[in-house]
Homo-oligomer: A and B are copies of this chain.
Amino acid sequence: MDPKLGRMTLKEWVAIESDSVQPVPRFRQELFRMMATAADTLQHLGAHVASVDMGSQQLPDGQSLPIPPVILAELGSDPTKGTVCFYGHLDVQPADRGDGWLTDPYVLTEVDGKLYGRGATDNKGPVLAWINAVSAFRALEQDLPVNIKFIIEGMEEAGSVALEELVEKEKDRFFSGVDYIVISDNLWISQRKPAITYGTRGNSYFTVEVKCRDQDFHSGTFGGILHEPMADLVALLGSLVDSSGHILVPGIYDEVAPLTEEEINTYEAIHLDLEEYKNSSRVEKFLFNTKEEILMHLWRYPSLSIHGIEGAFDEPGAKTVIPGRVIGKFSIRLVPHMNVSVVEKQVTRHLEDVFSKRNSSNKMAVSMTLGLHPWIANINDTQYLAAKRAIRTVFGTEPDMIRDGSTIPIAKMFQEIVQKSVVLIPLGGVDDGEHSQNEKINRWNYIEGTKLFAAFFLEMAQLH
């Protein structure tokens, strides 16, 4: 194997602006290019590759955009071997140089062993690490210890549009022989110690629109006599969460799983240096002062974040505008056993209550634009044991057994539809900055991660 192959390919993949969040034709074209490139790479590995046409997507504004194809690929079909299906995604969050990137987000740039670029860790790097592990067996002319399938999509950051329907359809076809499902789309909880993830939070994404009229107003000409939409919206958003992070929507904590003594013990067993965590996050002070509280509030309690406002003045400078129509955006990270549709009703009722008390003449509209379930797994499944052994082999340590505060809805979906064990084996360090500016993956994580996947194949062959 060309030792530069992995790195070179990651550079090429990062160079493709496969942003699935901004619904514009240019990025969709990039997504199609991304999926075609990946299909090509898998074909060169000798896989049987199908690019499944996913049709198109109707946006709220009436626009229709094509959905990039999903790749279903297979390598080996030996009935004496276990079959592991790897899920990954090749779309990325938006990235704009002007938002504070120190390097071009679409040019993979190595600085001090860190490979900076949008998608480097979420999720292009881990997908390539898996591919590199397979290539290693190919290059050494060794048989693969397991049969391998790939399902790779391009709409994860936009909520995996139409993926569930595809998995449902392929349940008794592509997925019929699958024994295990592996996902590598999250991060460790430290910079150096590997982890295995057995649960993730869900997410309910809300928009709340307040409208007086479609046009903006001049604050000199109308300031003082209007129910200003921004005043309404700021009051609505301000009613959602208090300064200690507690969500103020009535009933929202009702279905949160009760905390057991046994569960508390699992948090205590995890190594987390709070000082190092604060330093690597560049955060001066968290809401909580103990490791256990921090972990529980990231994993087993819901959280609410306000993301921003569409339609108001958002640029540098001083514009004296009264926005006529504004859309607030926030989301709630859901935990077992919260229910997406119950949360939708609770949030809607709460905002309607707050709004009605304002006696505003504006129109308010609440909408849940994404609703993703939380997921939790059985950590005694075969592949959890195999992953632990592989980690011991490559890293010489026990993994942290963790959950993830992020949403990886396909974990829950695979569990429910395919009904096979799902495991998350992250490769990146806690400071990788997924979704934010200056996202990176460490060269070390990328290479050791490739070894980990190769070792995992061997352990799976033994334990299956």
Contact = CB atoms under 8 A, between A and B. Distances in A.
Interface in A225-248: 225-228, 230-232, 234-235, 237-238, 241, 243, 245
A254 to B, nearest CB: 18
Contacts of A224: 245, 287, 297-298, 301-303, 333, 405
Contacts of A404: 220
Interface in A202-221: 203, 205, 207, 212-221
Given A223-B333, A225-B286, A308 B309 contact: yes
B309 A312 contact: yes
A314 B314 CA distance: 7
Nearest to A300: B224
Contacts of A294: 225
Contact of A219 (B220, B226, B228, B333): B333
Contacts of A309: 308-309, 312, 314
A320 B370 CA distance: 11
A222 B308 contact: no
A237 B306 CA distance: 14
Nearest to A63: B316
B369 A318 contact: yes
Number of contact residues on A: which range applies?
Answer: 35 or more
Contacts of A315: 22, 94, 310
Interface in A307-329: 307-310, 312-324, 329
Given A224-B301, A437-B216, A319 B238 contact: no
Given A309-B312, A320-B203, A225 B435 contact: no
A230 B307 contact: yes
Given A230-B306, A238-B235, A303-B219, A213 B331 contact: no
A361 B94 contact: no
A334 to B, nearest CB: 11
Nearest to A244: B359
Interface stretch (A38-46, A277-285, A414-422): A277-285
A243 B232 CA distance: 7
A306 B228 contact: yes
A221 B317 contact: no
Contacts of A203: 220, 320
Given A21-B317, A93-B319, A221-B187, A284 B333 contact: no
A218 B310 CA distance: 19
A6 interface: no
Query: Which of A94, A100, A219, A231 lies at the interface centre, i.e. has the most chain B CB atoms within 10 A of its CB?
Result: A219
B228 A305 contact: yes
Contact of A225 (B288, B320, B438): B288
Interface in A7-47: 21-23
Nearest to A333: B223
B232 A238 contact: no
Query: Which of A93, A224, A369 lies at the interface centre, i.e. has the most chain B CB atoms within 10 A of its CB?
Result: A224
A191 interface: no
B312 A307 contact: yes
Interface of A: 21-23, 61, 93-94, 99-100, 158-159, 187, 201, 203, 205, 207, 212-228, 230-232, 234-235, 237-238, 241, 243, 245, 281-288, 294, 297-298, 301-310, 312-324, 329, 331, 333, 357-361, 369-370, 404-407, 433-438
21 contacts: A21-B318, A215-B438, A217-B436, A218-B406, A219-B303, A219-B307, A220-B333, A220-B404, A221-B434, A222-B298, A223-B333, A224-B298, A224-B333, A225-B294, A225-B297, A227-B243, A230-B306, A230-B308, A307-B312, A309-B314, A310-B315
